[in-house]
Structure formats: C-alpha cells, structure tokens
Chain A
Amino acid sequence: MSWIINFLKSSIGKKLVMSLTGLFLVTFLVVHLIGNLQLLMPDDGKAFNIYADFMSNNPIIKIISLGLYAGILLHAIQGMLIAFENRKAKGKKYAVTSFENGNWMSKNMALLGTLLFFFLAIHMGDFWVKMRFLDVLNMVSYPELDYEVKNVYERVNLAFENVWIVIVYLIGLLSLALHLIHGFKSAFVTLGLEHKKYSPLINAIGIVYSITIPLAYAAIPLYMFFSHQSHY
C-alpha cells in the first residue's frame, strides 16, 4: 500500500485530491441549489421545510453529508497546505506583478478559497448549527405530515431581511463564481482530461456553470430581501 501513500505525497497526487474533492463539491452545489430554490416557491416555505426535515433526518442523506463535510475539509486543508508549500517553492516574489501571463482568479485561488471558507462558516453557523444543534427554531405542522417540523424557512426569511447578511452572501457567491471559473476547468486538466476537440466544450460548460450557479444562489437572498422591502 506504500504506493498509495507515495502517490498522495507526490505533487500530482496532492493535486488529484484537490481536483476530485473540487468536482464533488461542484456536484453538491447543484443538488444544494435545487433544494434551496424551493425557498422561492410561493407556499410560505412549506415545500422547503419538508425538504429540510427530510435532509436532516434521512439516514442515507446523513451518511452522504458526512462525506460532504469530509470533502469540504479535505479540499480546504489540502488547498491550504498546497498554498503554503507553493509559497515556499516560489520564494521571493517579483517587484512588479504582471497579470498578462495569467488571470487574477487563477493566481488567487487560495485567497478565494479562504473567503469561501469564512463564508461557509458564517452560512453554516447561521442555519445549519441553528437548525441541527440549537433549539431556536419554531416548529410548524403541515397536514401532509403527522409530525411537526422545524420552520427553517422562517429563519432564512428573517436572516435575509438584514441587508448586511445579504451583502455577505453576495460577496461569498462572487468568490464562489471566481473560484469556479478557474477551478472547474483546472480540475479536468489535473485529471488529465484535456483534448483539443473536447476541452473547449468543457471550458465553456465551466464558464456557464460558474456564472449561472452562483447567480441562481444569489437570487434567493436578493428575492427575499426585496420582497420584504416591497411588503412595507
């Protein structure tokens, strides 16, 4: 088994971990988005609350989410380690910084990743911790269910009344978009999936994905914030 350890210690092995966890998180973003878009349904949060209850109690989902947390942590920690090692490998930087040989995103993945990590901490502290571990949410009952569920919708709604929270989310999502613009195609290159005929397609999908997914996420706080505004 030493070959696996050697592989994971090699520069390409380390990058492979980044690539695979990154792509895993890319798929998670889609699933998470589909669930969360239910926040925008005109049913006072019924669909979303039932979905949230399912997501937090279904044993299979629970196991998957453990994988997700591991993926996030692995991506973040490995990313940090690589960033530190790379900084050491570069040594002194040039007095003049040029972006003519590479765009800003690709040269600042670690910075974007750190921003994302902080955003994730705020995001999870705000909803996930409150939902899972603190008994602060109101309960709500629906005729379809024979038990009460937590009213997560209400909590979300409340949060996005606050313009500062909305701004934090928008910054977080912008970081996500920038991180993805480089990360998406980079993950494929690291996997060795590069081909004159198909890479342009992968890159195009990457760009579309990196813009639409964060935009769709951003629609949630924005919609909620502005619908509050119009209620007054």
Chain B
Amino acid sequence: MRLTLKIWRQKSTHSEGYFESYKVEASENMSFLEMLDVLNERLISEKKEPIAFEHDCREGICGTCSMAINGRPHGPQTGTTVCQLHMRAYKDGETIVIEPFRAKAFPVIKDLVVDRSSFDRIIQSGGYISVNTGQATDGNSTPIEKGQASEAFDSATCIGCGACVAACPNGSAMLFTSAKINHLEKMPQGKVEHTRRVVNMINQMDKEGFGKCSNVGACHVECPKEIPLSNIAAMNRYYFSAVFTKE
C-alpha cells in the first residue's frame, strides 16, 4: 500500500518544529515501526537525517515507544502500543499524521522523542514500599484476597509510556500517578506508608507541571494497558483522607 506520512520534525527542544511529508510503500504485515524503519533506511541511503523515534522491546511492554498518530497516542487501536500496531489497520492511499506526545511536562528532545523523566521523579517521591533487601517475611505469611491482588495487578500493569498524559487535553498525569498509588494501596504491605505516599506523589506530580484532571477519560481510552479510570477517583479519596484526617 502507498501512504503519505506527515511527520513532525524538530531539531532540538528549543528549536521550532514543522511537518514534513514522506511517501512510503508498506505491506500490511509490517508493524508501524517497521514501516518507519524502512523510511529511515531510505533517508539514510539518501544521506538525509533519519527520523528520531524511541522504541525498544517492540512487544508492547517496555513503554519506550511514544508517538501520536492522527492525534491519538499509540494510534487508533485500543490496548495497543505503537510497536504492536500493524499496517493492516490502514488503507492504501491514506495520509497519516505523526507527532510526538504533546504535553508541557514532556518536552520534545528531537523529532518524535520526548523527555518523560518527570514520571521517574513521581515514582521517586513515594511510588514504592520501603523495605530493604532481606527484611521480608515469608511470601505466604500475608494472604491477599485473589480479587484484590488481581485489582492491584490491573493498576500495576502500567508501562509508564505517558500515553495518558499525551491523550489528556489537560496534560494531566493523574492516571499514571493513581495507578501506582492504587497498586501499592491494594497490597497490605503498601498500606503502611499510605499517607506519606499519596501526599508526596501528588505534590511531585503538581510540581512537574502536569495539568489538572477534568475526568475526560481519554487517558484510559488510549492507555495501552487499559488501566481503569477508577484509579483516579480512588486516589482522590485517599488524598482527601490523608489531608483531612491525618496529621
């Protein structure tokens, strides 16, 4: 199939970006990133600078790949990262607009590459259980109800790709932050640090310049791991209880 790609090119964080159009040939068994690989090979053979985009595992789990396709982070399919998206989702003759994840807290580094280190800093502010190596008791000493463990997993499955922020019209990181808070909240071991964690992580999230959630729900729709939206309401609840009832 023949496609026209309109791809965002930007030399560095502070330079102006612009769209450039490319015509490509693709086969439907290719993944979207393989299609970009082919384009890059061509650009290199023409001694031009290839398009910078991030990717690593190419099986939808590392969270490295990040681009918005026709205004949607990770493209049109739900529960899918860009690297899992295959060209059979597109038709011959289509024009595809490819942009970097857009949010103030994710500055563009180059072309489609953005800086998501703000996520690391949110985790560093409290997204863990404070247990040193060797302090643990036997794994089966605390039973955890199957459903609860499964719910914890549903939140813990976050791959930190930033699609939630990129999808949000407000550039909010509530789904990411709440997913980690809920994962740890649902484990009895995580309850101990409940108050500190929720307050510190939300403070850090605000400090990073993410926007305020207005419950649009785009984050959940675009999340490649389909993290439930209910995490956000739960985090609000924990936050109120931490602020109003604890020292």
Partners in one complex: yes
**Which residues of A line the B interface, CB within 8 A?**
3, 7, 10-16, 82, 85-86, 88-98, 100-102, 106-107, 109, 182, 185-186, 188-194, 196
Contacts A12-B239, A89-B103, A92-B102: A102 and B234 contacting too (C-beta < 8 A)?
no
Interface flags for B204-222 (1: CB within 8 Å of A; 0: not) read 0110011111111110011
A98 and B216 within 8 A (CB): no
A98 and B72 within 8 A (CB): yes
From A89, A109, A190, A196, contact of B236 by CB (8 A): A190
Interface-lining segment among B45-53, B124-132, B134-142, B163-171: B163-171
> Which of A3, A10, A97 is most buried by chain B, counting CB atoms within 10 A of its CB?
A10
B102 and A102 within 8 A (CB): no
B104 and A11 within 8 A (CB): no
> Which of B105, B167, B202, B236 is most buried by chain A, counting CB atoms within 10 A of its CB?
B236
Contacts A89-B105, A96-B71: A7 and B243 contacting too (C-beta < 8 A)?
yes
B243 and A89 within 8 A (CB): no
Contact partners of B22 in chain A: CB under 8 A = none
18 new A-B contacts, CB < 8 A, other than A190-B215, A192-B236, are A10-B206, A10-B239, A15-B213, A15-B236, A82-B212, A85-B212, A88-B211, A89-B172, A90-B170, A90-B211, A91-B104, A93-B102, A94-B68, A95-B19, A100-B76, A106-B217, A186-B215, A194-B233
The smallest C-beta distance from B88 to any residue of chain A, in angstroms, reads: 19
* Complex-state Cα separation, A186 to B169, whole angstroms: 15
* Complex-state Cα separation, A95 to B17, whole angstroms: 12
* Complex-state Cα separation, A50 to B63, whole angstroms: 66
Contact partners of A102 in chain B: CB under 8 A = 167, 169, 216-218, 221
* Complex-state Cα separation, A82 to B239, whole angstroms: 19
B215 and A189 within 8 A (CB): yes
A107 and B212 within 8 A (CB): no
* Complex-state Cα separation, A14 to B174, whole angstroms: 14
The smallest C-beta distance from B77 to any residue of chain A, in angstroms, reads: 11
Contact partners of B103 in chain A: CB under 8 A = 89-91
A193 and B233 within 8 A (CB): yes
Interface flags for B152-180 (1: CB within 8 Å of A; 0: not) read 00000000000000011111101000000
Contacts A11-B206, A90-B169: A100 and B214 contacting too (C-beta < 8 A)?
no
> Which of B70, B169, B210 is most buried by chain A, counting CB atoms within 10 A of its CB?
B169
B102 and A94 within 8 A (CB): yes
From A15, A94, A100, contact of B212 by CB (8 A): A15
Interface flags for B224-238 (1: CB within 8 Å of A; 0: not) read 000001101111111
A86 and B211 within 8 A (CB): yes
In the complex, which residues 53-75 of chain B have their Cβ closer than 8 Å to any Cβ of chain A?
68, 70-72
The smallest C-beta distance from B140 to any residue of chain A, in angstroms, reads: 29
B210 and A89 within 8 A (CB): yes
B72 and A89 within 8 A (CB): no
Contact partners of A96 in chain B: CB under 8 A = 70-71, 97
From B205, B213, B230, contact of A194 by CB (8 A): B230
> Which of B97, B205, B240 is most buried by chain A, counting CB atoms within 10 A of its CB?
B240
From B99, B211, B237, contact of A94 by CB (8 A): B99
Is B29 among interface residues, defined by CB-CB distance under 8 A? Answer: no
A106 and B233 within 8 A (CB): no
Contact partners of B168 in chain A: CB under 8 A = 90
- List 14 interface pairs A-B (beta carbons < 8 Å), by A numbering: A10-B239, A11-B174, A12-B235, A14-B212, A15-B212, A15-B236, A86-B170, A90-B211, A95-B99, A96-B97, A107-B216, A186-B214, A190-B215, A194-B233
